[in-house]
Chain A
Amino acid sequence: MPHHELSSPRPKGYRLLGPLGRMADRFAYPLRLSHYAELINPLWAAHRLQARVVEVWDETRDARTLTLKPGIGWRRHRAGQHVRVGLAVDGRQYTRTYTISSAPQRDDGCFTITVKSIRGGRISSHLAGKVRVGDHLAISLPQGIFFLPDAQPVLPLFVTAGSGVTPAMAMLRSLIAQERLPDTVHIHYAPHELDVIFGRELHNMASEHRRYRLEQVFTRQHGTGQQISGHFTGEQLARLCPDWTRREVYACGPPGLLAALEEHFREAGRARHLHVERFLADFTELPADAVGGDVRFARSGVHATADQKTPLLRVAEDAGLNPPHGCRMGICHSCDTRLLSGCVRDLRNGKVISETGSIVQPCVSAAAGNCELDL
C-alpha cells in the first residue's frame, strides 16, 4: 500500500527481518508482516513508525516534556533536528512538528519533545495536556538542517525565546555529553524566572560549566503579565555578548525575534553566521488587492472556494480531502503538488506563482484568483 509520508519512515523496501521479510510479507498479502507484528507491539511496526510515551514531565504551567520510545525504524537524530508527530484529536489524525529536546547520546534509546500548549491550539494542548504514559503517537524520522557542524569548531551564541529553547537544549546537552562544550553564550527570553522551560537545568549548567554563560531576559511581571523589559535590540546584544561578531549564532523563537535578528545581522553583514529555526511559517503581509478564488482539486474532482489568505492545504482539508502533508510550514515538502492552471501566492514571500506545472507547497500557499491543483 502506498502511504503518506508520515507512515513511510524508511525508503521503500524497508521490511522487518530484512530480505526474509519480503517472503514473509507475501504470507500477509495484501497486508505486510509488520501489520501483524504491530498487534503484539506497535513499536515493531515497519509500515509506520510509532513511539510510546514513557514519561511526561511538566516544565512550566503550559509546557510539558514527553519522553518517547521510538519504534524499530528509528534513526538517531542530530541535536537540533525536529520530528513530525501525528496524533488523533476527536477521531481525526493531525500532524505537527516538534524539536527534539534530548541529546542523541541518550543510551535508553528514547528521545524527548517539549510541547508548549498554544492558546486555542487544539493539537498542542492535547499533546501537552491529554496524552498519557503508554499512549502511542505516529512519528516521522528526525529531519531538519538546524544542527551544529560535526567536526569544525565553532563558538556558538544561542538566542532563544520561550519554547524556542528546545533545539539549543538538545545541542547543549549533546555537547556536554560528548565533553566538547566550547565557549558558549546563551541569551534566552522568557516571561519570568518561574516560567522558563528547562529553567533549573539551564541554571545548573551555567554553574557547573565555566564555558557556558547564560543571559536571561525576563519580559513580563508575575501575575499582571505586564511587559517590563524590551525584546531584542542591537545594543542589548552588544551588552550581553560583546564578542557576538566572532560567533556563529543559532536562533529559535517567535517570528518577531527572528525578524529582528535577521535585520540586525544583515545590516552588520553577518547574515551568513545567523542560523535560524522557525516553528511557525513566517507569512508576509498580503497586498491590499489580493483576492482568493475558486480552487479545483483535479485528481479528486473537488471544487472549493478559497480566500486570499487560507493555505490551500487547509482549503483541501475543509473540502473533505486528506492530502499527504507534514510540517504545515513549508519545510518538509510532503505536501508538494503541481499547479495545473491559474495562480497561487506563496504566503511566505507574497510571490505569485502562475507558471503551469510549477511545484507548489499547499501548506504555505493561498489562492490568487482561480486555480487548479493536482490533488
Chain B
Amino acid sequence: MITNTTTAHLTSEQIEEFGRELDSMREEVIDSRGERDRSYILRLIRIQRSLALAGRLWIFASLLFLPAWRSGLAGGAAFWGVLVAGVLMLALAKILENMEIGHNILHAQWDWMMDPDVQSSTWEWDHACPSDQWMHSHNVVHHTWTNVHGKDRDIGYGMLRVTDDQRWHPFYVLNPLNAVMMALFFEWFICLHDLELNKMVAGKKSFARVRRLLVGIWHKVLRQARKDFVLWPALGAVLALPLASVGAGPSPLAVLLIVMAANAAACIVRNVWTFVIIFCGHFPSGVHHFPREAVDGETRGGWYLRQLLGSCNIEGGPTFHVLSGNLSHQIEHHLFPDLPSNRYPELAPRVRALAVRYGLPYNTGSLTRQFGSTMANIVRLSLPLQGPAWMGASGTRRQRSI
C-alpha cells in the first residue's frame, strides 16, 4: 500500500472509498455507451482513411509541379507547397490511426459495439509493432505496473534515464542524444520493446522466446516497409516512366526517391508527435514513481491511486485531444483504459474534483510545461546530479511503502 506525505492523510478505508467512487463513474459510462459513441469512432475511421488516401495522392500531385515537367504552372514553391501538404495529410492520417483509433481499439474500448470490423482481437494498426505484441507490452505490462520500478518497462523504455530512481550509469551521458533518436524512430523502439533484448543478453530470456516474437515483427515490418518505401514510390516511378521516355518529366528515379522521402517524412512526423505526447504521460516533473514493494497486496483502491499519481494530463482544445488520441487525458485513460476515449473529456473534470475532495494531486499543465519539464529532466539525469530546488526535491517523486 502506498504511503507518503501525498497520501498519508488517507486511511486504507478512505482509499477504498476513493476506488468505489471511480468504479461508479466507470459503471455510469458503461451503461450510457450507445449510438453517439459508435458514430464518433466510425466517422473518425472514415475521415482517417480518406486523409491517408488524399495525402498519398497529393504527394503524387506535387510531382506535376516539379520544374522538369516544363509545365506553365511549374515552380519550386508550388512543388514544395503541395508536397508538404501531402506529407502532413499522410502524417495526420498515421497519427489518427495510431493514437485515437488504433491505440484505443487495441485497448478493447470499442469491443462493446460488437462490430466485426472494429474489434481488439482482429484490428491491425498502421505501425511497425504487431498489434498482439503491443497489446502485451502496453495493455498488460505497462497498464498493470504503471510507474513501478523493475516492473513497468515503459519507464525510459530501457534506454533513457527519466527519474532519479534509476541508478546512474555512464551510458546515460547519451540521454539527450538517445531521446532525439527515440523521438525520430519511436515506432521502431516500440516495435522492439517487447523483445526485452537486455534480458536476453543477461541470459534471463531464452532466444527461442525472442525468436517467436521476431517472426511476428519480421512479418509486420516487411509489409509496412514494403508499402511505404517500395510500392508507393515504385508506383510513382512507373507513372513517370511514359513521360520520361519522351523527355517530358523528371526521371523515374527522382520520383521514386521523392515519394520515398515524403513517406519517410510522414512517418517521422508521426513518430515525433507520438513521442512528445507519450513522454508527457508519465515523466513530467511532479509525477510519482513507485518501488516494487509498493504493489505488494495492492487493492483496487490502491491501484486507482497509483494510476492517478503516476499519470499526467496535458491541457488543450478538443482538436488537440483527438490528435493526442485523448492521451492528453492520460490520468483518465489510466484509470479507465477500456472506456471509449471520446468520453475522457467529460470524465476529466469529475476525476479532478474527486482528487481535490480526497486531497490528492492531479498533475496537469500545458504541453510546454509537461514536455519542457520532461526534457529538462532527461538532460539533467544524463549526469549523476540531484534535481534543483525549483523542480521539487527531485524531478519526479518516489513513493515509499509500508
Q: Is the CB of B123 within 8 A of A88?
A: no
In the complex, A347 has a CB within 8 A of chain B = no
A-chain residues with CB within 8 Å of residue B36 when the two chains form the complex: 91
- Measured between beta carbons, the chain A residues less than 8 angstroms from B116 are 3-4, 6-7, 48, 93, 138, 324
Residues of B within 8 A of A4 (CB): 116
Q: Is the Cβ of A26 less than 8 Å from the Cβ of B231? A: yes
- Determine if B235 and A27 form an interchain contact, defined as CB atoms under 8 angstroms apart: yes
Q: Is A302 part of the contact surface with B, judged by Cβ < 8 Å? A: no
A-B contact count (CB 8 A): 72
**Min CB–CB distance A13 → chain B (angstroms):** 17
Query: Is the pair B112, A320 in contact by a Cβ cutoff of 8 Å?
Result: yes
Pairwise interchain contact B124-A30, C-beta atoms closer than 8 A: yes
A57→B333 CA distance, assembly (Å): 47
> Would A39 and B53 be within 8 Å (CB), given that A1-B123, A93-B116, A320-B112 are in contact?
yes
Q: Which of B46, B119, B223 contacts A29 (CB 8 A)?
A: B223
- The 0/1 profile, CB within 8 Å of B marked 1, for residues 316-358 of chain A is 0100101010000000000000000000000000000000000
A residues 78-97 in Cβ contact with B at 8 Å: 88, 90-94
B6 at the A interface (CB under 8 A): no
Given the complex, which residues of A lie within 8 Å of B37, measured CB to CB? 91
> Given that A39-B49, A91-B34 are known contacts, is A29 also in contact with B112, CB under 8 Å in the complex?
no
Give a binary string over B96-117; 1 marks a CB under 8 Å from any A CB, 0 the rest: 0000000000000001111111
A7 touches B114 (CB 8 A): no
In the bound assembly, the distance between CA atoms of A36 and B227 in angstroms comes to 15
Return the CB mask of B22-57 against A: 1 if under 8 Å, else 0.
000000000001111110000000100110010000
What residues on B are CB-neighbors of A324 within 8 Å?
116
Output the nearest chain B residue to A300 by Cβ-Cβ distance: B121
The one of B49, B115, B125, B231 that contacts A88, using a Cβ cutoff of 8 Å? B115
Q: Is the beta-carbon distance between A88 and B35 smaller than 8 angstroms?
A: yes
Q: Which 3 A-B pairs have the closest CB atoms?
A: A4-B116, A91-B38, A30-B124
Q: Could you write out 7 A-B pairs with CB less than 8 Å apart?
A: A6-B116, A26-B223, A28-B227, A91-B38, A93-B114, A94-B114, A322-B119
Extra contacts besides A30-B126, A39-B46 (7): CB < 8 Å: A26-B227, A27-B231, A27-B232, A39-B50, A48-B117, A91-B38, A91-B112
Q: Which A positions have Cβ atoms within 8 angstroms of B? A: 1-4, 6-7, 26-31, 35-36, 39, 47-48, 88, 90-94, 138, 317, 320, 322, 324
> What is B's interface to A at a CB cutoff of 8 Å?
33-38, 46, 49-50, 53, 111-117, 119, 122-126, 223-224, 226-227, 231-232, 235
